[in-house]
């Protein structure tokens, strides 16, 4: 079996949400692959140095390097790691995560050409990024969706009620404040409506949301970061999952909500309409449209057969993302 070095942000021990490098590396190890990972350094400069040093350290012990690739400053981690892979003639595979990567292709055209054209292949979890990269002239692409182990998610159809669950890092790009505005609007129809928000602080957004909730007397529970087991258990008490993001690719939290049977109301951005279909596997609304999201939630509460249909369809859709289905796709990349 191939020996793999997987480069990504391993910051779960610093109150961050586990990322692909945590999830996929564990699944590959279960299949018998030898997987080395980097980096868990909190400081960004030290993290990049550790990532590059790992390529040097393992250069004679690995067959391929996987690189989690995002659209923000982490893009430069991928560029630096790929440079060292080229120096040592090690095949590398960028895994495209950033929902705003199409803009990065424009802003950093020269670096993007070097990074993506010289890769063994580029793995995209969504048809959305596949389409955007092809439009930009990249064709060494393969779609491998984010995967989960369905056995860890018990499907449960929900009795519709205005009990909302939001699960994401508290970051402006995920627009958490919109969730509070939706709750405030929803309470005009359902005064008993409540919201639970799960996720770690990233940029001060959680503190801003907490202040907003106090000022506007909103019944919001802030749980912070929870383990997967804990938030899955928590989800049993909620009826509807809301996703308020401004940019996205294929959010793992949506896959989990689909697996659990939570009807989803989400903003219609990035790769999300490539993942779910409005009225069939989710309810989709325009970015930052508080009123439309509130109306969609009310529709689900009033029309429980619709909510049930969406719940069942979403579970069927997410079965395609079970590790048993996705595993052969990764094996073909390693061959």
pLDDT of 83-102, one tens digit each?
999 999 999 999 998 788 99
* pLDDT score recorded for residue 15: 66
Q: Check for a shared fold between 3-144 and 150-320.
A: yes
Reported confidence tier of residue 19, pLDDT bands at 50, 70, 90: confident
Helix runs in the chain, H state only:
20-30, 44-58, 75-87, 101-107, 109-117, 127-135, 176-186, 205-215, 228-235, 252-260, 272-275, 290-302, 304-318, 323-334
231: CB partners within 8 A, 6+ apart: 167, 198, 223
State pTM to two decimals: 0.89
Q: What's the pLDDT tens digit per position in 106-159?
A: 999 999 999 999 999 999 998 999 999 999 999 999 999 999 999 999 999 999
CB 167 within 8 A of CB 253: yes
Q: What's the pLDDT tens digit per position in 263-308?
A: 999 999 989 999 999 999 999 999 999 999 999 999 999 999 999 9
pLDDT at residue 1 tops 90? no
Q: Which CATH superfamily includes the segment(s) 150-320?
A: Glycogen Phosphorylase B; (3.40.50.2000)
CB 24 within 8 A of CB 37: no
Rounded average pLDDT over 36-54: 95
pLDDT at residue 35 tops 70? yes
* Sequence ranges of the domains in the chain: 3-144, 150-320
Reported confidence tier of residue 25, pLDDT bands at 50, 70, 90: very high
Architecture of the domain made up of 3-144: 3-Layer(aba) Sandwich (3.40)
């Amino acid at each position: 079996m191939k020996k793999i070095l997987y480069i990504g942000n391993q910051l779960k021990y610093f109150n961050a949400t586990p990322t692909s490098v945590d999830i996929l590396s564990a699944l590959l190890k279960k299949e018998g692959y030898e997987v080395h990972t980097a980096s868990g350094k909190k400081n960004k400069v030290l993290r990049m140095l550790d990532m590059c040093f790992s390529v040097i350290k393992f250069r004679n012990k690995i067959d391929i390097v996987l690189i989690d690739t995002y659209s923000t400053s982490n893009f430069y981690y991928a560029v630096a790691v790929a440079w060292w892979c080229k120096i040592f003639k090690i095949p590398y595979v960028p895994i495209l995560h950033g929902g705003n990567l199409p803009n990065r292709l424009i802003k950093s055209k020269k670096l993007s050409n070097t990074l993506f054209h010289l890769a063994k292949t580029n793995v995209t979890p969504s048809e959305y990024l596949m389409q955007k990269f092809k439009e930009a002239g990249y064709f060494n692409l393969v779609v491998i969706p984010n995967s989960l182990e369905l056995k860890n998610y018990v499907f449960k159809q929900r009795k519709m009620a205005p009990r909302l669950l939001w699960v994401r890092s508290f970051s402006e790009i995920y627009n958490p404040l919109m969730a509070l505005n939706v709750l405030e609007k929803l309470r005009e129809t359902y005064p008993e409506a409540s919201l639970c928000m799960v996720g770690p602080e990233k940029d001060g957004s959680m503190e801003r949301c907490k202040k907003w909730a106090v000022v506007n007397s909103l019944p919001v529970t802030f749980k912070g970061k929870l383990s997967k087991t804990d938030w899955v258990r928590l989800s049993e008490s909620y009826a509807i999952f809301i996703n308020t993001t401004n940019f996205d690719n294929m959010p793992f939290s949506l896959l989990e909500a689909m697996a659990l049977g939570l009807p989803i109301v989400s903003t219609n951005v990035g790769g999300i309409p490539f993942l779910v279909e409005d009225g069939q596997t989710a309810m989709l609304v325009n970015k930052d449209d508080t009123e439309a999201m509130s109306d969609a939630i009310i529709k689900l509460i009033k029309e429980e057969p619709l909510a049930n249909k969406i719940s069942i369809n979403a579970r069927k859709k997410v079965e395609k993302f079970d590790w048993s289905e996705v595993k052969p796709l990764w094996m073909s990349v390693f061959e």
